[in-house]
Amino acid sequence: MASDSSTRLVVGLDFGTRQVSLSFRRVAFAEIKGNSLPDISDINVISQWRGSGSSTYDLVKVPTKVIYGEDSQITWGYEVPDGEEPIELIKLLLLPESELRTYLRGQNATTIKRSRDKITSLGKTVTSVIQDYLRELWKYSLEQIKASIGQRSEILPLHVILTVPAIWSEVARQNMLHVAKQAGICDDRACGKTRVELVDEPQAAATAVFFRELRKRHDLEPGARIVVADLGGGTADVITYTIEEIDPVPRFRECVEGAGGLYGGNFPDREFKEVLKLEIGRQRWKECSRFHDVIMRESWQYSIKPSFDNSDQLWHVNTYIAGTCQLNSEQIAECFDNTVTSGIVKLVRGQIQQAKAASESSTPPELICLVGGFGRSPYIYKVLHDKLCRKHNIELIQARDNSSWSAVALGAVLTRAVQLESRVARYSYGWGMDTLFDPDNHLIEDRYYDDYTAQWMARNQVHWPIIRGDRVRHSANGGSFHMPFPLNMKGIWTHKARFYKSTHRDPPKRVDEGLRVAIGEDVVPGVMFLGNIELTTPVEVQDLPKVSNGNGEFFYLFEWTWKISVTGSSVNMIATTSDGKEVGDLHIGDITKE
């Protein structure tokens, strides 16, 4: 069967902390060119997973857990039997230690340690286990896609969109791409090259919201602001968007800087277990150990947690060994309130306050949308409505069906159809460079004379093209730069520059280049060294333009321009010459060590 050059297969993979969701759709060339819009009903979400056949639920997600049998035989997802202690929370193992520590609350810390110990005892590495899981997931998913749309799926070029938390660092994103490549997700096909990109989970969720809401609501007009709260298993991310345009193509921009925190739906799970232990006694709970998974799944995940709205009633929990125990609404509410409620309220309140401050009329956003698996919680809806929305007269909406649970995966395959006009940078980004010496702004110890250009220069300076809080369009101009070379230099030459990320809105203009720090460490408080960016002359030095310094002396001049795009906590850069030739880049994970 010949390849189809007019259509592409787009796959969205939402690799969550405890569960994975995968969506797909065929994209016609006309849509890629912006000549038509997709229909959200054309998106398929895999909802049949091995081992889930006995469930009465439409399972649009599969657990991220795995066990190994004899000869390293892998069992994953719903096929992992109840009572087993699987390797789980594997997504968190992609994080560097400095980030992982923030996730190690309560049960997470215990589970992470147990998973790591199991990996070590098997003689495996963290990345090999994650690769094994993703490889099995990907293989099964391609089978499901083929069953859905036929053999045609095998001749369509692939465009894979992997979603990641907005608060993830460049290192974590690099690790995500690495394991995806090793798992075969990024492999090219005979019909064409596979495109792979990372998209922030809140952006993907917001895209799904815009497609769903803008199509059926006529009260939302350009200028309206929508707070999207993506409440997943591990994290809660909130971002406020302003609608720029509705027809013919939806366009929106980030209104204020987004925020996130560890307020996901997994944390109340741990608290519910503690409530049961106190109610029936720790010894009796221990005696029920082989039924723990069943109790949590049937009584909590599928019953109390998704339906609890704080109404006055008793909840009955079958413990199988210790009989049925009764829990009141106050006990259930504490499962949420002791872990995540105040944090979610704080995040959403912060967005409302920032949006009001950014508005000329000091008005709050028009709409708050709850998405994500935990975003379906009636209790979270009630808390936000009572504490924030009623006071500020903000409409709060919540999809109670699976479109909310799989919003990130749904939105991932739509991100190219909806235009995100600009983002608000969460960090400042810059690189070390030498610049013309200014006695009013530079230290005398940094001054030196450049014989080639016949100018006094200052070393140890930092150029910050992206400042935290800046509104950054899809591709920002990072500025034009040049490098002189003596006439006796020959061959291809590579230039290195230190790259930094800062939490400051007014980052320091000077950083001592002589300081020796490891990647990921602060060179000064609030300024992190990310590594070196490299760019290479497009031709041999002797073939570069020859320029005079004004004193009758000549030198070779290498000139380039940086184009920068910012995504959440990540940055991508491309350096080009005046004729458009690429001479350097910095993508997620492409930061070189010294």
What are the tens digits of pLDDT across the range 235-265? Answer: 898 989 998 887 777 778 888 888 888 898 9
Q: What is the mean pLDDT of residues 376-395?
A: 95
* Predicted pLDDT of residue 389: 95
* Predicted pLDDT of residue 589: 36
Position 53 confidence tier, pLDDT thresholds 50, 70, 90 = low
Residue 399 has pLDDT above 80, yes or no: no
- Angle, vertex CA 169, rays to CA 166 and CA 172, nearest 5: 105
**What is the percent of the chain where pLDDT is above 70?**
89
* Predicted pLDDT of residue 590: 34
In terms of DSSP H, where are the helices of 150-254?
Answer: 170-182, 201-216
The residue ranges of DSSP E strands in 221-357, in sequence order, are 225-231, 236-245, 251-254, 259-261, 314-318, 324-328
Distance, CA of 5 to CA of 9 (rounded, Å): 11
Alpha carbons within 13 A on the beta-carbon side of 372: 33
Q: What is the mean pLDDT of residues 107-115?
A: 82
> Do the beta carbons of residue 14 and residue 21 sit within 8 Å?
yes
Residue 54 has pLDDT above 60, yes or no: no
What are the tens digits of pLDDT across the range 535-566? Answer: 788 888 888 888 888 787 888 888 888 777 66
The overall average pLDDT reported for the chain is 85
Greatest mean pLDDT among 43-47, 125-129, 294-298 lies in: 125-129
Distance, CA of 31 to CA of 194 (rounded, Å): 18
* Predicted pLDDT of residue 5: 56
In terms of DSSP H, where are the helices of 33-94?
Answer: none
* Predicted pLDDT of residue 449: 94
Q: What is the mean pLDDT of residues 164-168?
A: 82
Q: What is the mean pLDDT of residues 521-530?
A: 89
What are the tens digits of pLDDT across the range 458-486? Answer: 999 999 988 888 877 765 667 778 888 88
Residues 6+ apart with CB under 8 A from 250: 210, 211, 214, 243, 418, 419
* Predicted pLDDT of residue 97: 80
What are the tens digits of pLDDT across the range 426-437? Answer: 888 888 989 999
* Rg of the chain on CA atoms, in Å: 27
What are the tens digits of pLDDT across the range 360-385? Answer: 888 999 999 998 889 999 999 999 99
* Predicted pLDDT of residue 566: 63
The pTM (predicted TM-score) of the whole model is: 0.76
What are the tens digits of pLDDT across the range 189-223? Answer: 888 888 888 888 888 888 888 777 766 777 788 88
